[in-house]
Chain A
């Protein structure tokens, strides 16, 4: 007989614990944190630039962490909004993990930036529809994006990520007619894997849906904070 050692241990326990710590600190700071996931080229950065710009115009304190395998190109683009932005270069890694967020927030705080004076923080994940799905970053909202230039069946091809989303954003809606995007098929695929999440249609270039996205990000703040503070002190 070989010896059996029973473990029942979550493989991603360390990431999940760290993410929960982050979630608690976000709740204490009353900051709404969203984790944006999509395939490369969906238009996350373009849309975020528009959303951050609108937020800053309205006097809302927004900030962004942006992950990419290489370059700080996206941080430069997002910084044009006027919001504080910090680039996370993953050096080839295909997703962000909670320890990267914790490390960058800590370094960022040392430069004088403060989580507590921020209304909402956006984390733009590495463009990838597979790998980020299992890694909790402590976010209150997960936002998945689908562009009309992608296949309408993409949500069912990559169900984990679309299922995990609290909000689904359709981007480049101004191109829908030009690419003969089948809206019914796309919504059917989205609803098959995620029956409940609100779906917002946007065009960063035409300024469509920006206010609605912003409203969702802001509305998430107190509710998220209350929810997790409630868990902490039952």
Chain B
């Protein structure tokens, strides 16, 4: 259950990215690579636990899965794998451990609440 560690790191990271006067956070968008070792369901559960009693308590974690992309030396191009169980080029079958993406655990963006106090700042 390392997802609790990940959730704590995630919440700290989001809080550090915001100024004190920000509008409430509605959504936290996270890209979770298929090779990151993080289980989305476990992270969603851990996030709710870790966010309680923080400024993110009412926010929702939105997880976007990203595939494992390997480089195939035979085709000289990259391809996305259907899962993490077979590191072979999907086009020609060449084995390749040359992973170009899929390990990421990245907070892409936040969606802040539509708060009246900030209405004048939006276009």
**B114 cross-chain contacts in A, Cβ below 8 A:** 1-3
Which residues in chain A, 130-187, are within 8 Å of chain B measured between CB atoms?
Answer: 130-135, 156, 159-161, 163
> A4 is contacted by which of B14, B18, B22, B111 (Cβ under 8 Å)?
B111
Of the stretches A77-85, A114-122, A192-200, A221-229, the one at the interface is A192-200
A192 touches B17 (CB 8 A): no
Q: Does A93 touch B at the CB level, under 8 Å?
A: yes
Seed contacts A134-B38, A193-B85; 17 additional CB < 8 Å A-B pairs: A2-B26, A2-B112, A3-B114, A3-B118, A4-B110, A7-B108, A7-B110, A9-B17, A10-B106, A12-B9, A130-B37, A131-B37, A134-B37, A135-B2, A159-B35, A163-B99, A192-B86
Q: Does B56 touch A at the CB level, under 8 Å?
A: no
> B13 is contacted by which of A13, A95, A191 (Cβ under 8 Å)?
A13
Can you give 8 A-B contacts (C-beta < 8 A)?
A2-B111, A5-B17, A5-B112, A8-B109, A156-B86, A194-B87, A195-B95, A195-B96
A11 touches B110 (CB 8 A): no
Given contacts A94-B2, A193-B84, contact A6 B97 (CB under 8 A): no
Interface secondary structure of A, over-half rule: mixed
- By a beta-carbon cutoff of 8 Å, the part of chain B in contact with chain A is 1-2, 5-6, 9-10, 12-14, 17-18, 22-23, 26, 30, 35-38, 83-88, 95-97, 99, 103-114, 118, 122
What residue of chain A has the Cβ atom nearest to residue B114's Cβ? A2
**A195 cross-chain contacts in B, Cβ below 8 A:** 87, 95-97
**A2 cross-chain contacts in B, Cβ below 8 A:** 26, 111-114
How distant is the Cα of A163 from the Cα of B13 in the complex, in angstroms?
A: 28
A191 touches B104 (CB 8 A): no
> B9 is contacted by which of A6, A15, A131 (Cβ under 8 Å)?
A15
**A196 cross-chain contacts in B, Cβ below 8 A:** 97
B97 touches A194 (CB 8 A): yes
| A-B CB proximity, top 9 nearest | A131-B2, A195-B95, A159-B84, A133-B37, A160-B37, A3-B112, A5-B110, A156-B85, A134-B37
B2 touches A134 (CB 8 A): yes
Given contacts A14-B9, A195-B87, contact A8 B111 (CB under 8 A): no
A5 touches B84 (CB 8 A): no
The distance from the CB of B102 to the nearest CB of chain A, in whole angstroms, is 10
> B5 is contacted by which of A5, A93, A163, A194 (Cβ under 8 Å)?
A93
